[in-house]
Structure formats: structure tokens, C-alpha cells
Structure 1
Amino acid sequence: MFSVRGPKLKYFAAILAVICLIGGVYFTFFQSRGFEKTSATIVDLEADQTGEDVTYYPIVDYTVDGVSYTGRVDQGNGSYSVGDTITIYYNPENPEIIHGGKGIGIYLMIASVVILAIIIVSSVREHRGLKETKETIRESGNTKYAPHMEGEERELYFLTDLGTLKAGHRIEDANRKVLYEAKMTELTMFGAYKFDFIDHEHGTTIPHMVGHAEETQWGSILLDDHLTFEFDGVDVWKHLKENGISVETSYTAGESTLVGMKYHIFRDGAEVAVAEMTSQYPHEDDAAEHKVASAVPVEGFFRIWTKEQNLDLLFLTIMAFARSKSIDDKGGTIGAKIGTIKKLTK
């Protein structure tokens, strides 16, 4: 299964624009080749209903060389009325073949131009936005992630905004104080989203470009899925690997039921955190108040145990799982199965 979002939506729209252009050229310049024009009178309207939408196609009477014909015109709308006179085109070799003219072709060509214009504008804006983001990061001096720094172990909570198109993410402590968050500042259909990554503990804000989630699901033992998105123009899993991140993934189990995922997160070979999927109420008191069973995980919500004091790279790692809905650090599922087998055989 392939999703049609982000870059793939752009490719799909480009293909649709080309199809519209080809169709428009055909209907405008070639469909009427050899046809002749005449007037026809609408004698009836034929309804064609699709769901709640109804389109009316005119049934017309017309005369060619003294012979009367009746036929249906292939262009429908809601403005026709019985008794109206309209122009039609007929095949002189077989006058029973008629059509309504070039109207649909013009509309198709206009549609193709509009779609292509939207794609071009969004691509230019994304390229400019990525360039500006990288320049802002360079000027701020925050071109690298903060170094690994260990402190007291703490239990943190990763939450995802629900019910909004501008979905953001945050890490809170046990007192619900937001320590680190990503706020979407610009929502786009084709290009990457703009986010501000805010480190409240250290007082820094860094802009980043976060692409639409892309899904390629094979559902095969041999071919793994690939669920990912681009981060500042690079595949997020590749970006994490380049910055020393690796993750050991396994299924968690309770009462003989698989209930979610558990992630051991490593940076340059040293374990920096353990994260588990939770319900959308990761705080224990909220879960109790809403009577949420611990065996009901929700994508995008995690409980974290870590001694890491600089949360930027850890935050991005968990955000990668939350947004892509991947199960392992390659964007697939096989890693989780292997990790579970290793855990069970120890």
C-alpha cells in the first residue's frame, strides 16, 4: 500500500495535471475534427446521480439533411432547461454521433495549468524555506546537536497534539512542565511543514523543515515496510543514524497480549533512554482518572526514562516514531520482530 501525501501527492498531482492537459488538448482540438456544427432543441433532461450529486444531460432533437435525430449530449450541468436551443457537433458520416463541443476541453486545460502552478509555487517555496532554515541555523551557531550529558534519571512524557492539523509534539516532566517541544508554524499541502523546535530548559529555538509522512507498506516477510519523512531535506532515519542514534525495538506484552512498543535508544553506542508507548494519557494520574488500561497504546504518546540532560536529539528520535508510525529505526517492522525474539531468547 502506498500513501499519497507530501512528495507523493505532488507527483500524483503532476500526473493528474498531464492527464488533464492531454484530455483538454484532445477535446479542444481533435475531438471535433471532421465534425460539423448545428443547432439542437432540448426535449428532455436525463438525470445521472452519483451519491448526493445529480448531473443533468440534455436529450436533443436536431435535423441533418432533412432527417430528424434524437440523441444525448455528453456535457451535463444544472443550467439546461427543456425547450432551450444549444449548439452541438455531429459526425457527417454518421449524424447519430454527437457531442457538445470544446467546453470540457477548455476546463481541463485550465485545471492542468492551475495544478501545475500550485506545484511549482509550492516547490519554490519549499526550496526557499529549506535554504532560509539552514541559513538561520548556521547563523545561530546551532549547527550540531548538544553533546551527550548525563544527570539524574528522570521520568518524562512525550505527547502529541490531537484534533488539529497543526499537530505538534512536546516532552513534559512529572509536573507537566514542558521541557522541549516542536510547534508547527506553517502548514502546507505539498511541501515540508515549518516547525520551531523549542528547548525550554536551555532557552533556545531552532527552525526545522519536517516533511509529510510517507508510507510504503509491503506486508511481506521478505520486503520490509518503509515509513518515514524528511527532516531538513534528509530522510529522518538517515539523519538520526548520521548523528549516532540507534534503537533496539521490541514488543511489550501484558496478560499474553501484545500491547505496544518498547525502545532502547542509544547514542554513539551508549544507552541514553528507554521509551514505551502509552495511552494518550501518559501521566499516571490522568490514566487513572480516565480509567485507561495500560494495555491500550496510542501512536504518538510515550513514557520515557532517561538520564540525558540535553533533549534535542532524543526528542527528534521519539518524534520520528510518533510522526512516521514506524516500529524500528529503519522505518520498518522487521527490527521490532528481531528485537522481540532476542528478548525472549535471553
Structure 2
Amino acid sequence: MIFHQSMVKIIAGILAIIGLCVGVNVTFFQTRGFAETTAVITDLTEEGSGDDTTYRPTVEYEVDGETYNVKLDNSVKADSVGNTITVLYDPSNPELAYVKNGMGIYLLIVCPLILAFVLISIFKGRGERQENKERQELSGYTGYAPHVVGGERELYFLTDLGTPKAGHRIEDENRRVLYEAKMTNFGVAVDYKFDFIDHEHGKTVPHLVGQVLESTWGTLLADVHDTFEFDGVDIWKHLKQNGISVESSVTAGEGALVGMEYRILRDGEEIAHAVQTSQFPHEEDTDAHKVEGKIPIPGFYRIWTTEVYLDLLFVTLMAFARSGAGDDKGGTYGAILGTLDKIKNNEGNI
């Protein structure tokens, strides 16, 4: 199952409702009419093993002159024998007892706050997506620019690391910014707002970019999935809808020990070839920073392309830069298979 930002909110809301119900039951029903007394932990029952080991206490307490020894469902520390705890017991059946704690009250306080946070973020997110759609219409955006072939250019895609805003840009060899995404609003529970700016053609389009999420399966048959939502749609689905497919592999070459390589196609026709590069992608920077120049940095790519319009290519590279994925499904298996195929075709050389 693939979890997206909206699904996480729904799951959190469901868990908050369940927690609220538990809190109500524990606080108002489970121990209603119970009496309070002090009990001594006399024994521990060890359950599980390793890091999953828990210790269930047996406690002793007195009611109306009669002593009761009761094993409780709560877990305590391994060295708790001899400690005293407060328990609640049923006067009509003193052997029915629970540890007195503030869990019920805690759930009654925290769960409504979580539920309110989830509901506000869901409705706010819907409103922001509608607002963003209206802003796109005002900017004249009707979709990505058509595939137009020009002369081949060597460009650089760079990601601003070390900042929560994590902006992205494409530069030419003279450091002139051709295309970039500038964050205009940083949110915790809602999508980030970006202005995507095409400096070559003087066009700005607003987009919403969600937080990166990962779902992992612990088997050999299912891959990880690193993704985020782009204007409310899974980024990899969004790229597929716009004709993008990517052939991924691992490469070793100038300026990088080992890095990712992408052959990017639009409707089956190659529009760009990108290679992961160092944090100093320009040749003079590589000379000035010899150590860093040999380390591939996530989010930095050297690009060769004939595309005149860079908008869809930019979003494709941003998908890999933000998610850290290895293939166009958000996983890693595609890159592994692509590398094996590349080795086979090159007779063992990457």
C-alpha cells in the first residue's frame, strides 16, 4: 500500500477517534465506582524476548482485612519488585483491579487536539488546492509546454540543501538561472507553495508540493516507495500522466565515484540525459574542491538536453531530488534492473 499525505491525515484521524473512545471508556466507565488503595509488587512475569520483553506485575493489597494477590495487565520495569503502586479495585469483586494512571485523561486531552488538527489541515488543504488552481488559471497555465527540439545544451540541476525550503533550479554553464522553483509558503501540515519560474520565457506558474513520505515493505518482492504529492496527485503518477518515463541506472564517471544516471523520455522519445554529480557541478568548482568534486550529492545533476521548454524536465528532476528515489515508480528496483542491463550490454562495465 502506498501512503500519501492525505491518507496519513485520515489514518491519524481514525486513530485519534479510537484513542478518544478508549479515553472515555477508561475514565468514565471501566473504573466507575472503583475504590483506591496502595499495592506492593511481589512478583514479575516475563513475557517476550530481547527488546520486546515486558514484565507483568503481581501485586498484593488488602481490602477489609483480606489480602489479595492479583496479576495486572500493565507492564513495569524489571527491577520493580518491592515497589508500591496505586491500584483501583472493584469493591464488589476486589480481585478485579487496574493500575491507576492518567492515560484516560491524557487521551481525552491529546486525541481531540489531534483530531482537530487533522480536520483543520484537511479542509485547509482542500481550500489551498482550489486557490492554487485559480491562481494557475489566472497565470494562463493550461499544462506543460509542448515538446520542442532545439540545440543540445549542457545544464545543471541544483538543490539548495541544508534548508527546509529546499529550492531547486536549472543553470547553464555561465551560472545563469534558466528555470527555478521558489518556495512562497512553508507549511507543516499542508502542502508547500512554490512559484515555478521559467526565466527564458518569462512565465511563472504556482504549484503545491507535498511533504516526502515513504512506505516500505520488508520483503524481497515489494519495493520501497518514496513519494510526495504534486498539486494533489502522486508525483510519479503525475509524470506518467504527462508521458514521462525514466530509465535509471547506477554509473561511475568524471566528478562522481558512484551516482545515479537517468535517461528521461517523453512519450517514448528521449528529451534529456542526466547524471548525478557533485555539489560543485561546474568544472572550475570541481578543481577548487577536489574532494567534494568526487562525491555525488543527492539533488545535483548534470543534464544534456535538446528541450527548448524545461518545465516538465524540471519537475521530473525535482521528483528524484526531493524523494531520493531511484526509479520512476518512487522505488529502487528499476535502477537495479537498469544497472544490470547496462552491465550486460557493456560487457561488465558500468
| CA distance in 2 between partners of 1:8 and 1:329 (Å) | 21
Q: What letter matches 1:105 in structure 2?
A: G
1:179 paired to 2:152: no
Q: Does the CA contact (< 8 Å) of 2:87 and 2:97 recur in 1? A: no
Deviation readout 1:273-328 (Å, 9 max, x if unpaired): 11001122222222322223655212111111112121101100101111121111
1:326 paired to 2:325: yes
Q: Does the CA contact (< 8 Å) of 1:36 and 1:90 recur in 2? A: yes
Cα distance change, pair 207–274 in 1 and its aligned pair in 2 (3 A): same
| CA distance in 2 between partners of 1:121 and 1:162 (Å) | 30
For 1:146, what is the secondary structure of its paired residue?
Answer: coil
| CA distance in 2 between partners of 1:262 and 1:125 (Å) | 38
Q: What letter matches 1:128 in structure 2?
A: G
Q: Does the CA contact (< 8 Å) of 1:9 and 1:190 recur in 2? A: no
Other-structure match for 1:17: 16
Q: 1:289-304 maps to which residues of 2 (within 5 A)?
A: 289-292=288-291, 295-304=294-303
Other-structure match for 2:94: 94
Q: What letter matches 1:94 in structure 2?
A: P
| CA distance in 2 between partners of 1:342 and 1:66 (Å) | 80
Other-structure match for 1:166: 165
* Structure 1: gaps (5+ residues): 41-61, 75-86
| CA distance in 1 between partners of 2:103 and 2:29 (Å) | 13
Q: What letter matches 1:109 in structure 2?
A: L
Cα distance change, pair 339–97 in 1 and its aligned pair in 2 (3 A): closer
| CA distance in 1 between partners of 2:240 and 2:227 (Å) | 13
1:233 paired to 2:225: no
Q: Does the CA contact (< 8 Å) of 1:5 and 1:190 recur in 2? A: no
| CA distance in 2 between partners of 1:293 and 1:110 (Å) | 50
Other-structure match for 1:338: 337
RMSD across aligned positions (CA): 3.6
Other-structure match for 2:201: 202
TM-superposed deviation, 1:97: 5.1
Q: Does the CA contact (< 8 Å) of 1:279 and 1:292 recur in 2? A: no
Other-structure match for 1:77: none
TM-superposed deviation, 1:143: 1.3
| CA distance in 1 between partners of 2:98 and 2:261 (Å) | 66
TM-superposed deviation, 1:14: 2.3
Other-structure match for 1:137: 136
* Structure 2: gaps (5+ residues): 39-60, 69-73, 75-85
TM-superposed deviation, 1:192: 2.2
Q: What letter matches 1:309 in structure 2?
A: V
For 1:191, what is the secondary structure of its paired residue?
Answer: coil
1:214 paired to 2:213: yes
Q: Does the CA contact (< 8 Å) of 1:154 and 1:305 recur in 2? A: yes
Q: 1:1-346 maps to which residues of 2 (within 5 A)?
A: 6-7=5-6, 9-36=8-35, 90-92=89-91, 93-94=93-94, 100=100, 104-218=103-217, 220-254=219-253, 259-292=258-291, 295-343=294-342, 344-345=344-345
Q: TM-score, normalised by structure 1?
A: 0.77
| CA distance in 1 between partners of 2:165 and 2:175 (Å) | 21
Other-structure match for 1:49: none
For 1:307, what is the secondary structure of its paired residue?
Answer: strand
Instruction: Number of aligned residue pairs: give it.
Output: 313
Q: Does the CA contact (< 8 Å) of 1:4 and 1:12 recur in 2? A: no
TM-superposed deviation, 1:17: 1.4
Q: Does the CA contact (< 8 Å) of 2:153 and 2:306 recur in 1? A: yes
Identical pairs, percent? 57
Q: Does the CA contact (< 8 Å) of 2:275 and 2:301 recur in 1? A: yes
| CA distance in 1 between partners of 2:98 and 2:310 (Å) | 69
